[in-house]
Amino acid sequence: MTQKRYKIILNPVAGKGRAGERAGEMEALLNQRGINHDIVLTKAVGHAIELARDARREGFDTVVAAGGDGTVNEVVNGLMQSAARGETPPSLGVLSVGRGNDFSYGADVPADLEACVDALAAGKERPMDVGRITGGYYPEGRFFANGIGAGFDTIVGLEAAKMKHVHGFMAYVFGAVRTFIMYPAAPHVIVTLDGGQGGVFEQKSHQISIMNGRRMGGTFFMAPKARNWDGAFELCMAAELTRGQMVDLIGRYTKGSQAGHPGITCAKAAHYAIEAPEGGLVVHADGETICTDGRSLDIACLPSALRLVYSGEMAARFEGAMGKAE
């Protein structure tokens, strides 16, 4: 049997440069596990898309995103472009060496580098849903792996990205403080689920999350029960809130306990249409800015679009915990 070939796409600036510093460790672990691989470093924004798109034609069986959520997003976009050419795209693997690693958390991929390499060596795979958002800066559409954020959390992320000397969770804390000082008005939105069959919600909303994964921002469990293989996305939508109410909800997000709050709407659907007739939307997909004054967005779940290398041990723990919770 021919040994599988793995293309490791390493973003050396992920995790504020810490991903690149671990290249030697990565190489040693891959060699120790006997994984047939090539490591390729990205050189600019968007380079990982190109590298992933061409991987099948180069004979690779699995493409591994070595970085954070932004790297995963680019690799997923490249793999989906490969699929659009009529190819069977390589499987997706991840080495979690970024900052937030939210996708990894929700996809049963370990946070520890050595455990990630062990998962690659084990080669356990399952189908993975992929999202496509159309509108804003991407009228032709952009794919995403973890989730969409609109409103407060997106503004916090943009403010956190401006921090030069503060990283990780504290960057989001300072970003949240800045956003609280500005506290933009909640836009009037109309959110239609599955063409109306799943419901239509019309209200002013300070925050909307549409999740394939479970967590955003490294800390906030916007969809704690989400499964990225069930053919649908979880909705978590906040109403128009005062600063005090938002503080309370942020605390709930860190625990994933927002369901049932009177200011929160939770639902599940495979397709979402969002209109903002009276106020523009600030939206990101996996941290990539989609628009800062959006008026109309279309979000679709593409079921089982890719194959994902995951940790069966982590998945079993999660399913066991969810079984007890339910």
Spatial CA neighbour of 209 closest among 258, 159, 279: 258
Whole-number pLDDT of residue 99: 83
pLDDT digits (tens, 9 = 90+) for 160-178: 777 777 666 677 777 778 8
Taking a C-beta distance cutoff of 8 angstroms, is the pair 168, 15 a contact?
Answer: no
Residue 216 and residue 157: Cα distance in Å, rounded? 10
Taking a C-beta distance cutoff of 8 angstroms, is the pair 72, 286 a contact?
Answer: yes
Taking a C-beta distance cutoff of 8 angstroms, is the pair 163, 154 a contact?
Answer: no
In the DSSP assignment, the letter for residue 220 is B
pLDDT digits (tens, 9 = 90+) for 124-173: 999 999 999 999 999 999 999 999 999 887 887 777 777 777 666 677 77
Whole-number pLDDT of residue 1: 43
Q: Are strands 125-135 and 296-309 parallel, antiparallel or unpaired?
A: antiparallel
The residue type at 93: G
Whole-number pLDDT of residue 177: 80
With H, G, I as helix, E, B as strand and everything else as coil, classify residue 63: strand
Residue environment code for 9-31, b if the CB has 16+ CB neighbours within 10 A, otherwise e: bbbbbbbeeebbebbeebeebbe
pLDDT digits (tens, 9 = 90+) for 180-230: 887 888 999 999 999 999 999 999 999 999 999 999 888 899 999 999 999
Q: What is the mean pLDDT of residues 269-285?
A: 93
Spatial CA neighbour of 237 closest among 215, 262, 217, 216: 262
pLDDT digits (tens, 9 = 90+) for 13-64: 998 889 999 999 999 999 999 999 999 999 999 999 999 999 999 999 999 9
> Please, which residues have CB within 8 angstroms of residue 161's CB and are 6 or more apart in sequence?
171, 175
Handedness of CA 82, 71, 100, 282 (dihedral sign): negative
With H, G, I as helix, E, B as strand and everything else as coil, classify residue 251: helix
Confidence bin at 5 (pLDDT 50/70/90): very high
CA distances from 119 to 102, 109, 163, 227 (A): 17, 8, 34, 19
Q: Is the pLDDT of residue 291 over 80?
A: yes
What is the distance between the terminal CA atoms of the chain, rounded to a whole angstrom? 43
Q: Set out the domains of the chain in order of their start, with CATH numbers.
A: 6-124+310-325 (3.40.50.10330), 133-304 (2.60.200.40)
DSSP string, 125-168: EEEEEEEEEEETTEEEEEEESSEEEEEHHHHHHHHHHT-SS--H
Residue 217 and residue 100: Cα distance in Å, rounded? 6
